């Protein structure tokens, strides 16, 4: 994997001017989706910009959108150069990385189980 986590990938997108931080409050109901659609329509499939909404209305968790909505960002995400992408991609399909079960790890730092589960805690755009 070319990145240790999503933060590292977003930092790379910032370095490459492939992501725009939206630091004003944005409503997750309709407004966020409308902004994403407008950015995609203006830039098209190849020249749109990923978005990082820092202040989703009513939430403290930021929202990243469109991270893989262009080929250049997809190549950055995979770490495979454009000229070798398909050959490498096909080769890697033949040797998948197997999942590894762990007892502890960052993925288990915040766990909610059973009746604790409440998806409305997350800023899910509609």
Mean pLDDT for the chain overall: 93
Task: Kindly tell me if the per-residue pLDDT of 1 is higher than 80.
Answer: no
CA dihedral 34, 38, 39, 44 (to 10 degrees): 130
The predicted structure's pLDDT at residue 104: 87
Residue-wise pLDDT for 22-46, tens only, equals 999 999 999 999 999 999 999 988 8
Number of structural domains in the chain: 1
80 close to 51: Cβ distance less than 8 angstroms: no
Residue-wise pLDDT for 44-82, tens only, equals 888 899 999 999 999 999 999 999 999 999 999 999 999
51 close to 19: Cβ distance less than 8 angstroms: yes
For residue 1, tell me if it sits in a domain: no
Task: Kindly tell me if the per-residue pLDDT of 16 is higher than 80.
Answer: yes
Residue 59, domain extent: 6-96
For residue 116, tell me if it sits in a domain: no
Query: pLDDT class for 87, splitting at 50, 70, 90?
Result: very high
């Amino acid at each position: 994997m070319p990145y240790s986590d999503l933060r590292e990938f977003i930092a790379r997108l910032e370095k490459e001017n492939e992501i725009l931080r939206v630091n004003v409050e944005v409503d997750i109901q309709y407004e966020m989706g409308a902004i994403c659609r407008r950015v995609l329509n203006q830039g098209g499939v190849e020249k749109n910009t990923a978005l990082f909404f820092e202040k989703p209305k009513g939430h403290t968790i930021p929202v990243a959108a469109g991270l893989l909505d262009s080929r250049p960002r997809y190549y950055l995400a995979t770490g495979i150069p454009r000229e070798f992408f398909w050959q490498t991609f096909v080769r890697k399909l033949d040797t998948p990385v197997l999942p590894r079960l762990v007892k502890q790890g960052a993925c288990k730092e915040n766990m909610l189980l059973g009746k604790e589960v409440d998806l409305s805690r997350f800023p899910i755009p509609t």
